[in-house]
Amino acid sequence: MASTGKRSYNAIKAYTQEGRSTELTAVEHLMSAAEAGILTLCLTNPVWVTKTRLVLQYNADPDRKQYRGMFDALVKIYQHEGIPGLYRGFLPGLVGTSHAALQFMTYEALKRDYNKYRKMPSDAMLSPWEYVAMAAVSKIFAVATTYPYQVVRARLQDQHNTYTGIADVISRTWSNEGAVGFYKGMVPNLIRVIPACCITFLVYENISRMLLGQCK
C-alpha cells in the first residue's frame, strides 16, 4: 500500500512540476500527496475492510459470519452488505489521506532544509541513514497527528459492534475510554510501520536515482 501511494504521489508531483523551474511549495507537496492518498484509498478500501473483518472475527461466536480467507470474506461482505459494505470507513479514510499528505510534506521539507543546511542543491543525494532518519521522523509525525482516524475507521469496519456513524463512534469512544481510546495500539503500530516505511523510501530514492542516472 505504501509503495502504491509513493508511486501515485511522485506521478502527481511530477505532473505538477512539469514545465516549472521553481520547486514545489509545501502546500503543493501536501496537495499532491492528498490527491495520491484519495486515489489509493478508492482502490484499496475493500482490502482494508476485508483485513479488519478477518482480524476481528470470533470463532467462538456461531451467530457471526465466519470467513475462511480473503476471497471468501470479499464475497460474503458483498453478498450480505453490497458495495457499501466494502467501503465501510471510507469517510474516515478520506480524512486519513491527511496522514500520507503530512508524511510526504514533512519528508520533502526535511530533505530540502537539510540540503540547504549543507549548502547543497535541494535534490542532492543523501546517505542511506539520512534517508532512513527522515523517513522515520516523517512517519512518526504523521502517525501521531492522524492516528485517531484509524481507530474510528477500524471500529466502523468491525462487524461485532453497531455504530450509527462517525459521530457515534467518536462519542462512545470518548465516553467509555476518554482521549486514550483514540490512541489504542499506536505504539505497536509505529513499531510495525516505521521499518517498512524506511525501507520503502530508501529503496525508492536509490532506484529513482539509478534510473535517472541511466537516462542521462
C-alpha cell at 191: 513499531
Domains of the chain by start residue, with CATH: 2-215 (1.50.40.10)
Q: For position 132, what pLDDT does the model report? A: 95
**Band of residue 55 on the pLDDT scale cut at 50, 70, 90:** confident
What is the pTM for the complete model shown? 0.61
**Band of residue 135 on the pLDDT scale cut at 50, 70, 90:** very high
Helices 186-215 and 2-17, packing angle to 10 deg: 50
**Band of residue 206 on the pLDDT scale cut at 50, 70, 90:** confident
Per-residue pLDDT tens digits for 108-127:
889 989 999 999 888 788 99
C-alpha cell at 89: 470507513
Per-residue pLDDT tens digits for 84-103:
889 987 877 777 778 878 88
The per-type count for the chain, helices as H runs and strands as E runs, is 7, 0
C-alpha cell at 55: 482480524
